[in-house]
């Protein structure tokens, strides 16, 4: 890895590829922290840029972690723009799901603290397991703290749907997928109606 720094030759050789799918070992390992002195560096900024591009490229995607691009580091991005919110499931469930738009958030070496331990269960999906969903219990509100792409301290008190997204991405950094936490009786193929025709 000499001469390639933090992310190593394997990252630069691979470049930005497709989102890794369930079965890829990188999704099941705990991600390593980014060294404090590297957090605001060019390589981390490049990784964040790749995550943001992939996030916005994937239809309906609201969060993405570095392991999902094959990079086992503690970095994730999340964003719920108004245009995606308008296309979310029918308007009636939105208040119950507490869905509100939020701007791009970037976290390097994030830590999580539960602010409201009430568990709410709603369907989740994942770009690493496309075409499926299941109900997953998540905490109502959390505080996530870490560094941004510039290496500056940042924090976010997330509640409702935003808290769900944060917990989902934090799980990715520990090698946990939503299927590990789901109510297995709710696991569904989102295209089952089309397949049954």
Any domain includes 136 = yes
Q: Is residue 10 part of a domain?
A: no
Residue 9 within any structural domain of the chain? no
**This prediction's pTM:** 0.88
4 CB neighbour count, 10 Å cutoff: 13
| Active-site entry in 79, 124, 149, 169 | 169
Note whether residue 2 is domain-resident.
no
Burial of 1 (0-12, 13-18, 19+ CB in 10 A): exposed
Q: 107 and 152 in contact (C-beta within 8 Å)? A: no
Tell me whether residue 8 is in a domain.
no
- Residue 15 burial (CB count, 10 A): 8
For the segment 78-107, what is each residue's pLDDT rounded down to a tens digit?
999 988 777 765 544 556 678 899 999 999
CATH number for the domain spanning 73: value is 3.90.45.10
Q: 114-166 pLDDT, tens per residue? A: 999 999 999 999 999 999 999 999 999 999 999 999 999 999 999 999 999 99
Question: Which residues form the domain of 186?
Answer: 19-86+94-196
pLDDT of 93 = 57
Question: Domain total for the chain?
Answer: 1
Annotated active-site residue 169? The verdict is: yes
- pLDDT beyond 80 at 60: yes
């Amino acid at each position: 890895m000499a001469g390639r720094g933090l992310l190593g030759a394997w990252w630069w050789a691979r470049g930005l590829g497709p989102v890794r799918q369930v079965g890829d070992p990188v999704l099941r390992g705990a991600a390593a922290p980014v060294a404090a002195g590297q957090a605001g560096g060019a390589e981390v900024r490049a990784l964040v840029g790749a995550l943001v591009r992939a996030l916005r490229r994937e239809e309906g995607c609201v969060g993405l972690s570095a392991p999902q691009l094959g990079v086992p580091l503690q970095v994730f991005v999340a964003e719920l723009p108004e245009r995606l919110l308008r296309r979310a499931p029918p308007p009636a469930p939105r208040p119950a799901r507490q869905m509100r738009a939020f701007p791009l958030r970037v976290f390097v070496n994030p830590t999580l603290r539960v602010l409201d331990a009430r568990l709410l269960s709603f369907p989740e999906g994942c770009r690493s397991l496309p075409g499926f969903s299941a109900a997953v219990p998540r905490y109502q509100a959390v505080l996530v703290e870490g560094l941004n792409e510039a290496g500056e301290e940042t924090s976010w008190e997330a509640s409702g749907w935003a808290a769900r997204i944060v917990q989902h991405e934090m799980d990715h950094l520990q090698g946990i997928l939503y299927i590990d936490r789901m109510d297995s009786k709710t696991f569904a193929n989102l295209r089952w109606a089309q397949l049954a025709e």
